[in-house]
Structure 1
Amino acid sequence: MLNYITQTLRALFYGTALFSFAISINIVQICSMLLIPYSRRLVWDINSRGAAQSMWWVMQYIFEKNHKGNITFSGDRIPSDESAVVISNHRSFTDFYMLHAVAIRRNMLPHVKYFAKDSLKYIPFFGFGMWLMGMIFIKRNWTQDEGQLKKIFKTIKRYAAPIWVVNFVEGTRLTQKKLQESQAFARDRGLPILQNLLLPRTKGFVACIRQLRNTHVKYVYDFTIAYRHIKKGLQCPPNLLQIHSLPIITPPWYFHVHVRKYSIEDLPSDEEKLAEWVKQVFVEKDAILEDMKIKWTKCEKLGEIRTEKYF
């Protein structure tokens, strides 16, 4: 009983503190709008280097330092301050901690911009803040999204600012129901049947690469995010309540990010072939996750396992 009360109080403390901090950042963001007539680039920088970095840094500190979330890394070593299109599997809200774990170690935390569902921008306070941070809201209706994406990428190219454009190309978080639906879809069309991922939705990714070729964004990073619970096994991440109520989250959870880096220059220029390329990337990601079910980070496909302490 005492343990339950302690966890509840801890969750309330962190929840209230983060909400209050987010509101204070929102106020700064609103004030920054006064500068729009003078310098839109300055407003972009205030909301990236100020608002976004502050919020993401505090959340990452709580996850890794306060609650001892132990994240390991493998794959290609990427340099600091390098712009890229980032594709990743999407399992839960906890994925953001994994992506930010890499970003903060490469000095890119302020510059992470997500493809996000259009409905999120209507969340009081947070939606408006995300819009000012430069998040890329899409309706997942290509007819409606295409024009909006062109405008956003035009801004990115004009500013030539450091950026990670993050696209969860599965289009939604993985659930058992969605996995079964995706497998049925693949089976009906003779496509690869994935065991741990949804089939990627390629239109947004293809449009992104088409718009960013021959710009300062020269690479694609592929992140494979994996979770392991000592009893529940692979891909059972903690939820937000567990993250903020438990004093220590490793153990019982362990976290891993595998990174692969590709030059945009080397990707197919033909859009159909590019769509096939990203599908093949997901076939390879699925094989990695399948091996990790049994071997976890001893999976040979991962190579050297690194712990990169930051906090």
Structure 2
Amino acid sequence: MWLARVIRRLFGPIIGFSFAIIVFGTSVFGNYIVTLFLPMITVFNFHLKWRALMDRAISFWMVIPMFYLQFVYGVKIRVTGDSIEADEPAIIIMNHRTRLDWLYFKLALWRVNPWLMTTYRIALKELVKHVPGIGFGMQFMQYIFLKRDMNVDFPRMDKAIEYYSESKQNYQV
């Protein structure tokens, strides 16, 4: 992509720093926006509508890092294998090779079907939920945080699956 090459040549040293600042800054700002909608759950009892709103809001936010990956860094994604349908629940297993695989995974989901961005859920280390900004958003997205202790993790996964089914959405975990 010629645009990515031009941007990298002109702004090479600051691109990585700007990516980190933009993703972190927008996640912190997004957390404040999310908290504005919390009364929908408690006061108005619109839990399902709140869940749908949050799913869409956070998936729209994810367009920012995906834009960087595709148009600034010039990452090319080729999706192969079984198709993932947005209207059916699914379990997706990834071979986690780097710390940023989730960015590539989201770019692949967008490529398959943009609506998959609103219904995916990730199981990840419990420690990540304490990261400022992003951890708060991951908790609102109802990600499954694993402690790597079966006595703790199985009840958490059961609770999460029950929550997903009660929300009347077909989630991909």
Normalised-by-shorter TM-score class: 0.7 to 0.9
The structure with the largest helix share of the pair is 2
Match of 2:4 in 1: none
Inter-partner Cα distance in structure 1 for 2:144 and 2:170: 15
Inter-partner Cα distance in structure 2 for 1:139 and 1:96: 19
- How many residues align structurally? 162
Structure 1 pair 80–123 and aligned structure 2 pair: CA distance change class (3 A): closer
Inter-partner Cα distance in structure 1 for 2:84 and 2:133: 34
Q: Which residue of the other structure, out of 34, 46, 49, is the alignment partner of 2:53? A: 46
DSSP-derived class of the 1:137 partner: strand
DSSP-derived class of the 1:91 partner: coil
The answer to whether the Cα contact below 8 Å between 2:24 and 2:134 also exists between their aligned partners in 1 is no
Inter-partner Cα distance in structure 1 for 2:103 and 2:97: 12
Q: CA deviation at 1:33?
A: 1.7
Q: Does 1:157 align with 2:169?
A: no
Match of 1:225 in 2: none
Inter-partner Cα distance in structure 2 for 1:127 and 1:158: 24
**Structure ID, larger Rg:** 1
Q: Does 1:139 align with 2:150?
A: no
Match of 1:29 in 2: 34
The CA deviation string for residues 68-97 of structure 1, in whole angstroms up to 9 with x for no partner, is: 111122233444443211111100123213
Give TM-score, length-normalised by structure 2: 0.83
The CA deviation string for residues 27-56 of structure 1, in whole angstroms up to 9 with x for no partner, is: 1111222222112222221221112x0222
The structure with the largest strand share of the pair is 1
Q: CA deviation at 1:131?
A: 0.2
Structure 1 pair 31–65 and aligned structure 2 pair: CA distance change class (3 A): same
Match of 1:97 in 2: 103
Inter-partner Cα distance in structure 2 for 1:123 and 1:93: 14
Q: CA deviation at 1:139?
A: 0.8
Give TM-score, length-normalised by structure 1: 0.48
DSSP-derived class of the 2:91 partner: strand
The answer to whether the Cα contact below 8 Å between 1:122 and 1:128 also exists between their aligned partners in 2 is yes
Match of 1:286 in 2: none
DSSP-derived class of the 2:142 partner: coil
The CA deviation string for residues 216-245 of structure 1, in whole angstroms up to 9 with x for no partner, is: xxxxxxxxxxxxxxxxxxxxxxxxxxxxxx
The CA deviation string for residues 246-268 of structure 1, in whole angstroms up to 9 with x for no partner, is: xxxxxxxxxxxxxxxxxxxxxxx
Structure 1 segments unaligned to the other structure (5+ residues): 166-311
Inter-partner Cα distance in structure 1 for 2:103 and 2:30: 19
Structure 2 segments unaligned to the other structure (5+ residues): 1-7
Q: CA deviation at 1:6?
A: 4.1
Structure 1 pair 15–78 and aligned structure 2 pair: CA distance change class (3 A): closer
Q: Which residue of the other structure, out of 53, 66, 71, is the alignment partner of 2:77? A: 71
Match of 2:132 in 1: 124
Opposite residue 121 of structure 2, the aligned amino acid is K
Q: Which residue of the other structure, out of 60, 67, 89, is the alignment partner of 2:66? A: 60
The answer to whether the Cα contact below 8 Å between 1:32 and 1:46 also exists between their aligned partners in 2 is no
Q: Does 1:86 align with 2:92?
A: yes
The answer to whether the Cα contact below 8 Å between 1:44 and 1:134 also exists between their aligned partners in 2 is no
Q: Does 1:114 align with 2:122?
A: yes
Structure 1 pair 68–5 and aligned structure 2 pair: CA distance change class (3 A): closer
DSSP-derived class of the 1:71 partner: coil
The answer to whether the Cα contact below 8 Å between 2:86 and 2:119 also exists between their aligned partners in 1 is no
RMSD: 2.2
